[in-house]
Amino acid sequence: MFHRDSVVQLWRLSALSDAHAPEVVGRLPKGEWLFRGRSGYGHIGDVFVAFHLMNDFTHVEEEDRIAVTSAIASN
């Protein structure tokens, strides 16, 4: 979804999601990133990016990107 210079992606999860895929894994481009709580803020070239998740997440810097993993269900 694109609205007023914002891009949003939403996923509908089935009731069986926890059994099949207990977490969501996303990929972020390399850049300057600040991670706080359930949010991430990035500066990639001339673009500023922010994301906010419903649950805590972990991030791992890989050679060409950053992997972000978050549980689907709240504890």
Q: What is the pLDDT of residues 28-53, one digit of tens each?
A: 999 999 999 999 999 988 888 889 88
Is residue 19 scored above 70 in pLDDT? no
Q: Tell me the torsion sign for CA atoms 32, 49, 53, 25.
A: negative
Q: Would you kindly state where each structural domain of the chain is located, as residue ranges?
A: 20-59+66-75
pTM: 0.70
Q: How many residues does this entry show for the chain?
A: 75
